[in-house]
Structure 1
Amino acid sequence: MAVFHVQGVPIGGVAIMLALFASMGGFIFGYDTGQISDIMLMDDFKLRFAQCGTPGVLSTCNFSTVRAGLIVSLLSIGTMCGALIGAPVADFLGRRHAMVAECLVYFVGIIIQATSSHAWEQYAMGRFVGGLGVGALSAAVPMYQAEMAPPQIRGSLTATYQLFITFGILTAYCIAIGARELSNSGSWRTVVCIGVLWPLILSVGILFMPESPRWLASRNRLEEAQHSLARSRGVSLADEKTDNFIVREVERLRVNAQAEANIKSGWLDCFALEKKTLYRTLLGMSLQTFQQLTGANYFFYYGATIFQSVGIEDSFVTQIILGAVNFICTFGGIYVMEKYGRRVPLMVGGLWQSAWLFVFAAAGTAKVPQENPAIGKVMIVSACLFILGYAMTWAPGVWILVGETFPTRTRAKQGALATASNWLWNFLLAFFTPFISRAINFKYGFVFAACNLAGAIVVYFFLYESSDLTLECVDEMYTDPNCKPWTSRHWAPAGFATRQEYAKFKDAQDNEPSATVSHAESESTAAHAGVADKEEPVHDEHNW
């Protein structure tokens, strides 16, 4: 049964539940990201794994730059490898069963970390193994959500992945502040072992959700694809064969799968020039790179250390404040990405983030924060305002785009390449940040400010507006020679002046009692006809 309708399209409760369960993959990612910053400051962890001048004397224990960088960053190396492995696994096993397998890998990583005693190398390798699971999930989850979600709410449902990342980070901060007073290894082992719950919830819950109808259609399992669509749209199984909307959607999937059936796709196909495939691969990788270069993980990985250095006595509390801002503002990000599309929020976000990072860096460079409490407060406020902008734009926006920019045939592999790019830069920042911070201190913020400006420029010149379109129409838009990135928000399928007109046409046909499969076939044929015949309207990107 449909819970509600959006633009006349039924939305079932299963569509909401699958978004929530799948997003537990993001929660795992966020929890692992958030926990390490506080664990590195726990007394027992430092006594066991840091370099101590006098064994057993805490005041003489400190992590070398290399050791701290490796413990933090080996997770990212694992996630990069996992993201690349995740694509063929998701294509072979299906989206749901791939997630279950990846949760088991993450579980093994937790065991390796929790059983570490005094060898920091074992703990670091546990983070690497856990990273394999996290990386594979980061490739599979946004893809599954984009393929399952109705286009009318695809942005919101896919953005729940980022929302759960922020929730995971905040949860890790809260658990860490509660566990730090536990005696001996109970402090950090509690934080690590609680992480077992998250893959358990995901691996069990996702088995009750339907498989991606696009994946099923690509395997010629059209009846199962029909069941999957019916469940996510709230249509009863008794009505699925007569429901106009379901019949038409299945036909679209069949036509698309048939067109791609004889085309074998390998990794090299991600770099083909046809249909702007290479263009989109490089675009996805660039967006994921710039998401890391915004500087967000500078605060999430090393926030506790950063705020200790500006004179904050209890940096754990400051971390929770940052985490709460990140989590709460992501709700606003879901609204922004659904209301204003993809391009404008990313451009505005890049400018906003750049401005506040400039303030952060300038304040920290102008005076010594430890000797000027007012400067320290300015830095904390600017960091919070930076996180506000990031959480509402670049954080959810890039993950949405990874799910909806690529064609079905190569979506898994292109998504994996884009996500691997994210994790590569995640590793580079995690490992080299201690070295860079010691060399230039808070001037590091100027580097991130410049990267945010560059990201906004890339979005303006290269990213197409993909909101309110089916995944098949997004593919058509990218291959329309008359459509440019800065005019793409006005683009509509062939024969329609606007996307709103196309949506009304679809709604009218979907609600027509006489709508049949032949209508779906005729629309599919029209959609793939020469789009160059369509007269281009006057465009004005700046009419926001």
Structure 2
Amino acid sequence: MKSSALASLRIYWLAVVLCCGGILFGYDSGVIGGVLTFQSFQDDFRYGKSDKTRVSSIAVGIQQAGALVGCFVVWPVANRYGRRISIMACSLIFCIGVILEVINTHALPAFYVGRVICGLGIGGSSTVIPIYMSEMSPKEIRGRLGSCYQLMYTIGILISYWIDYGVKFMKATPTQWQLPIGLQIVPAALMGLGMLTLKESVRWLVLKGHYDKAWTSLVWIRASGSEEVEIEFSEMQQGVEDDRHAMAGFKLKELLEWPNAHRTLLGFGLFLAQQSTGSTALAYFGPQFFSLLVGPGDKNLLLTGIFGAIKVIACLLFVLFISDRFGRRPLLMAGAVFMAACMITTSAVVKAHKPPGNGTVTSAGVATVALLYLNIIAYNLSWGPLPWPCTSEIFPARIREPGVAFGVGSQWLFNFVWSFSTPYIMSGIGWGTFLLFGILDIFIFGFVFFCVRETANKTLEEINAMFEPVMVHHVDVEPAKDDDENGESVEHGKDAAPTTHVEHAT
């Protein structure tokens, strides 16, 4: 086998292993909403109809809280012990959490503990995997491989929806809810075991001074020790050294200094907006949302399954045709406006034509389902993928790592806020839930219009300059002078050209 073919095989094998983490993330996000609708789950954990809202809120929200903790805890572990060990540890932690979840203890607190442990594994792996992917991928296909993680996330959601739909027709025994929950262990175990076949991150090894191991790892993943690979290795060493100098003496309080605080607030705002579009809530509580549109019944799991398939198609369209062809701002603004229209129209239709509740799907129900499908298409062509590159682009090297960490942390924070509060919102205001998200989408449009700057097709240096203020220190007016008939100098004050000294703040 030629070295180029072997190199392609190895890098795509690495992507397959890491994308198991994307499938795991998506599957875990989508499976719980359907499980919470099963009567067998309610019977085994002994809670009634009056407790549904509380259980749904805690079961989903508590895992996002664990993920929030996990995404920060994993940073020192990954920096000290390496990316490979960290990902395997996250896999093991997640598997332990799944085991605790599927044990039929008849005690919700025990189930919640399993959810928290799973959250730690999810939060940690979702942070380290993109780093490891970018550090090992050839620059020519780095963007494509990174996009595959997002695509696999949507596929994981799709798989979970259809598994929930399939087991709905099983007998109402513990197996009905244990099977979809237990299947989470498959992608988690495949990811952990697959990491045993891969090498440690070249960049991390260089950072730690293990140059021989770093060279061995690079030669393995490139399947070559050619001059081209030697040049890449030298550039990587220089890049690590440059980053080391850039980070020298860094203190967290620098994030509070303007314009760093401007960048940090912008990253915070992008992920707050992403989680406030309503699409995260739809992903977790799809069956419950469709119940507001067409009434209760098994058809809600079917509609949720179709919803998941549409997410995958939209994400694939973004990766193949849209990701680098349009600016960030136009897509974000268009997405917000379109989602606002879908949500507000849905709320108006549901308010005027409530579902009959007898299993009949009316034309109003069909229309509102179509609007939610259009809404999720708009999300996956804009707010789903774009906050990630936007956030990574706005930070200079000196504060990129803590800045991006803050952004990712805010993503998990607001993921938790909406996943925990949505069941109460739906229970309290019903159709008004759609109106709430529609109004928020309008505010999100305003946020982009007034606060977000275009970063597409700009170098990191050009982006950095956009955030650095231009200060005019002083203006010196030097009057022009001419000699009169007697040789005396004459000043022309009005016609004198001012000399302006302009400096860029550094």
TM range (shorter): 0.7 to 0.9
Q: Is the 8 A contact 2:66 2:119 kept in 1?
A: yes
- State the AA in 2 paired with 1:197: V
Alignment of 1:442-457 (within 5 A): 442-457=431-446
The CA RMSD over aligned residues, in Å, is 3.0
Match of 1:218 among 207, 229, 234: 207
Counterpart-to-counterpart distance in 1, 2:442 and 2:5: 41
Alignment of 1:160-239 (within 5 A): 160-183=148-171, 184-226=173-215, 228=217, 234=222, 236-239=224-227
Shift of the 300–433 alpha-carbon distance from structure 1 to 2, 3 Å rule, reads same
Match of 1:330 among 297, 315, 319: 315
Q: Is the 8 A contact 1:349 1:394 kept in 2?
A: yes
Shift of the 421–241 alpha-carbon distance from structure 1 to 2, 3 Å rule, reads closer
Q: Report the counterpart of residue 20 of structure 2 in structure 1.
A: 24
Q: Report the counterpart of residue 33 of structure 1 in structure 2.
A: 29
Q: Is the 8 A contact 2:104 2:174 kept in 1?
A: no
Q: Report the counterpart of residue 397 of structure 1 in structure 2.
A: 386
Q: CA deviation at 1:255?
A: 4.0
Q: CA deviation at 1:82?
A: 1.0
Q: Report the counterpart of residue 348 of structure 1 in structure 2.
A: 334
- When Rg is computed on C-alpha atoms for both structures, the one with the higher figure is 2
SS at match of 2:169: coil
Shift of the 175–417 alpha-carbon distance from structure 1 to 2, 3 Å rule, reads same
Q: Report the counterpart of residue 257 of structure 2 in structure 1.
A: 273
Q: Is the 8 A contact 1:102 1:136 kept in 2?
A: yes
Counterpart-to-counterpart distance in 2, 1:138 and 1:226: 27
Counterpart-to-counterpart distance in 2, 1:356 and 1:241: 51
Q: Report the counterpart of residue 289 of structure 2 in structure 1.
A: 306
Q: CA deviation at 1:102?
A: 1.0
Counterpart-to-counterpart distance in 2, 1:482 and 1:404: 12
Shift of the 146–46 alpha-carbon distance from structure 1 to 2, 3 Å rule, reads same
Q: Identity across aligned pairs (percent)?
A: 27
Give a deviation string over 1:149-201, Cα, whole Å, max 9, x none. Answer: 45554433222222111111111111122223333100110111111111111
Shift of the 462–222 alpha-carbon distance from structure 1 to 2, 3 Å rule, reads farther
Counterpart-to-counterpart distance in 2, 1:230 and 1:281: 37
For structure 2, the 5+ residue unaligned runs are 470-502
Shift of the 428–221 alpha-carbon distance from structure 1 to 2, 3 Å rule, reads same
Alignment coverage as a number of residue pairs: 463
Shift of the 83–211 alpha-carbon distance from structure 1 to 2, 3 Å rule, reads same
Counterpart-to-counterpart distance in 1, 2:186 and 2:233: 39
Counterpart-to-counterpart distance in 1, 2:467 and 2:124: 37
- State the AA in 1 paired with 2:97: G
Counterpart-to-counterpart distance in 1, 2:399 and 2:443: 28
Match of 1:109 among 75, 89, 97: 97
Q: Report the counterpart of residue 526 of structure 1 in structure 2.
A: none
Q: Is the 8 A contact 1:288 1:421 kept in 2?
A: yes
Q: CA deviation at 1:413?
A: 3.5
Counterpart-to-counterpart distance in 1, 2:125 and 2:254: 20
Q: Is the 8 A contact 1:369 1:376 kept in 2?
A: yes
Q: CA deviation at 1:251?
A: 5.0
Are 2:277 and 1:294 equivalent residues in the alignment?
Answer: yes
Match of 1:477 among 462, 465, 468: 462
Counterpart-to-counterpart distance in 2, 1:437 and 1:129: 27
Alignment of 1:357-396 (within 5 A): 357-370=343-356, 373-396=362-385
Counterpart-to-counterpart distance in 2, 1:225 and 1:356: 51
Counterpart-to-counterpart distance in 2, 1:33 and 1:389: 20
For structure 1, the 5+ residue unaligned runs are 5-10, 53-60, 485-530, 534-544
Match of 2:110 among 122, 127, 140: 122
Q: CA deviation at 1:347?
A: 2.6
- State the AA in 2 paired with 1:477: E
Q: CA deviation at 1:221?
A: 3.6
Counterpart-to-counterpart distance in 1, 2:424 and 2:240: 54
Give a deviation string over 1:307-346, Cα, whole Å, max 9, x none. Answer: 2233354111001010000111110121311333534322
Per the normalisation by structure 1, the TM-score is 0.77
Q: Report the counterpart of residue 73 of structure 1 in structure 2.
A: 61
Greater displacement, 213-222 / 441-450: 213-222
Counterpart-to-counterpart distance in 2, 1:343 and 1:252: 34
Are 2:125 and 1:137 equivalent residues in the alignment?
Answer: yes
Give a deviation string over 1:426-461, Cα, whole Å, max 9, x none. Answer: 222122212222222122222222323333443444
Counterpart-to-counterpart distance in 2, 1:20 and 1:459: 35
Shift of the 241–381 alpha-carbon distance from structure 1 to 2, 3 Å rule, reads closer
Greater displacement, 113-122 / 358-367: 358-367
Shift of the 250–311 alpha-carbon distance from structure 1 to 2, 3 Å rule, reads closer
**Structure 1 residue ranges, 4+ long, deviating more than 6 angstroms after superposition:** none
Are 2:35 and 1:49 equivalent residues in the alignment?
Answer: no
- State the AA in 1 paired with 2:152: F
SS at match of 1:369: coil
Q: CA deviation at 1:84?
A: 1.5
Counterpart-to-counterpart distance in 2, 1:367 and 1:43: 28
Shift of the 146–455 alpha-carbon distance from structure 1 to 2, 3 Å rule, reads farther
Match of 1:421 among 410, 415, 422: 410
Shift of the 455–174 alpha-carbon distance from structure 1 to 2, 3 Å rule, reads same
Q: Is the 8 A contact 1:364 1:443 kept in 2?
A: no
Q: Report the counterpart of residue 489 of structure 2 in structure 1.
A: none
Q: Is the 8 A contact 2:22 2:149 kept in 1?
A: yes
Shift of the 376–329 alpha-carbon distance from structure 1 to 2, 3 Å rule, reads same
Q: Is the 8 A contact 2:455 2:463 kept in 1?
A: no
- State the AA in 1 paired with 2:338: W
